[in-house]
Structure 1
């Protein structure tokens, strides 16, 4: 297949590109800069110039493909609502080009949009439009496309997709800890984050593309169902050689500032259905093992 990939030079997307090419697919990767274009060429992909806010460029990329994997996202969490709206528009643009065909669209969402007390979040759980989390816009857009006949699948990523080169939530936590000289968890630190290694996630995206069914399906890229936030904070404290401290909810909010919502997420999740349907079995190291290797703490 010739696959159009957004976010093709990003942390997750670059691994997806390599996974697709190694499996014999052709990749058309979205690039917004000359540096990104050179990176794609070096990986063996074709280059499609554009960006996530140039919807016409996205439509052209989708039109030139046999399927689309959308991993791109504007990673500016200080304006989270705005970038979630950008993502909704991107999904609509890609879907409008694929409507009326059998070409699959794989989009990316986050397990963090769902938090269900006392049980694991499953692939069957759906976000609601009234959710206070603006990230639900992506899945709601995908659902609307499915109702129009687009062959769409959602891959839900956990709060941490980890590996060397990560620039997501865990490096943000490390940066806060390094700046303030302590690694913090709220109260008992019992809120849980699921996790997955980047290479395991990339394989799931490929399988989701190759096995895309009719209609709308959701997959969970979850290797570890729920890691207590206290354990993450302790691994960060160990890596930075700084104290690990429990703080009250009010103190933790002051400590984490704009990142408070994300630090407090409690969204343990299962991937049992995903593993059964796709034959996906995570094989790479877990988050704490990755942190213990030390790469996350090298400036």
Structure 2
């Protein structure tokens, strides 16, 4: 198949392009610059300069595609809501509208569990049919939801659409990509305290996400969304697993989100004077008040997908992160 991919130089997009090219597909990757493209060219992927915020720039690369896979997004704790909307909402609208206009065979949207705004407060896992938790805790969460709604509007106009919602994605390569950032900080002992230790979140291995994406392309159902949650654990449980595998101590102190917010407010002058960014932006703390537990039974049952548990995914990831230092 001829497949057009946005977000191709990102953590998931790069691995997906390599996997698709290795399977013999003709892969065209939308890239904003030549930076980080060497793994793509080495895999035989065709580079298509452009940006999802520029609809015209995508026309040539997307033309004639059997599938378009949309994974590009702006994920920054320091970006404004307007900046996020320009990429995650307007950019998604550009991809979907162009795919519809060009008659692309189908669009696979790589969304995020962030689009749900969290899971129920009682800690039970949300499903694909669960309503979003309002208000959205972060601009990223809000704009991923709005962007997916913009894509779905084009599906109602006839665009063939399939969607995946990955949880926290970890695994090599990329020591500062995906949820590897959190694991690396735990490994290096840079979390003196755990904030939101009892909050539950969903951890899924990168290779398993890629296999799920391929499965959705091959045998997913049109109009269907698939949560890719992996294993659900509390932050406290995750830290203990990392400590047990690495032999390094887990953080011994825990801090409530309210206290953490107060401390950040009190230290704001320091961050301003030094020009440095705080370890956790105040706005980002809101996400730590939510559970992010999701049920991926649909993907397991309908796609035959079997993600590995943390007990199998953490050892190679932590070994990779230790070597990468």
TM (norm. structure 2) is: 0.79
Q: In structure 2, do the counterparts of structure 1 residues 104 and 250 end up closer, same or farther at CA, with 3 Å as the change threshold? A: same
Q: Secondary structure in 2 aligned to 1:72?
A: coil
CA offset at residue 88 of structure 1?
A: 1.5
Matches within 5 A, 1:205-284: 205-214=213-222, 216-224=223-231, 226-235=232-241, 241=249, 243-253=251-261, 254=263, 257-258=280-281, 259-283=284-308
Matches within 5 A, 1:195-206: 195-206=203-214
Q: Retained in 2: the 8 A contact 1:58–1:90?
A: no
Q: Secondary structure in 2 aligned to 1:60?
A: helix
Aligned mates of 1:102, 1:84 — CA distance in 2: 25
Aligned mates of 1:296, 1:84 — CA distance in 2: 36
CA offset at residue 298 of structure 1?
A: 4.3
Aligned mates of 1:290, 1:262 — CA distance in 2: 28
Matches within 5 A, 1:117-136: 117-118=121-122, 119-127=124-132, 131=136, 133-134=141-142, 135-136=144-145
CA deviations over 1:251-283 (Å, ceiling 9, x no partner): 233465313234444121111111222222224
Q: In structure 2, do the counterparts of structure 1 residues 283 and 128 end up closer, same or farther at CA, with 3 Å as the change threshold? A: closer
CA offset at residue 208 of structure 1?
A: 1.5
Structure 2 match to 1:293? 319
CA deviations over 1:83-122 (Å, ceiling 9, x no partner): 2441222221121122263611111222133222332111
**Could you tell me which of 125, 129, 151 is aligned with 1:142?**
151
Q: Secondary structure in 2 aligned to 1:206?
A: helix
Structure 1 match to 2:110? 108
Instruction: Tell which deviates more after alignment, 145-154 or 240-249.
Output: 240-249
Root mean square deviation, CA, Å: 2.9
Aligned mates of 1:245, 1:288 — CA distance in 2: 23
Aligned mates of 2:294, 2:251 — CA distance in 1: 29
Instruction: Tell which deviates more after alignment, 105-114 or 286-295.
Output: 286-295
Aligned mates of 2:227, 2:131 — CA distance in 1: 12
Q: Secondary structure in 1 aligned to 2:18?
A: helix
Q: Secondary structure in 2 aligned to 1:202?
A: helix
TM (norm. structure 1) is: 0.85
Give unpaired runs (5+ residues) of structure 1.
none
Q: Secondary structure in 2 aligned to 1:269?
A: coil
Matched, 1:72 2:68: no
Q: In structure 2, do the counterparts of structure 1 residues 175 and 54 end up closer, same or farther at CA, with 3 Å as the change threshold? A: farther
Give unpaired runs (5+ residues) of structure 2.
265-278
Q: In structure 2, do the counterparts of structure 1 residues 267 and 237 end up closer, same or farther at CA, with 3 Å as the change threshold? A: same
CA offset at residue 192 of structure 1?
A: 0.8
Matched, 1:184 2:177: no
Residue-pair matches, total:
295
Matches within 5 A, 1:33-48: 33-48=33-48
CA deviations over 1:101-148 (Å, ceiling 9, x no partner): 361111122213322233211122243897454121122112212111
CA offset at residue 12 of structure 1?
A: 0.7
Q: Secondary structure in 2 aligned to 1:209?
A: helix
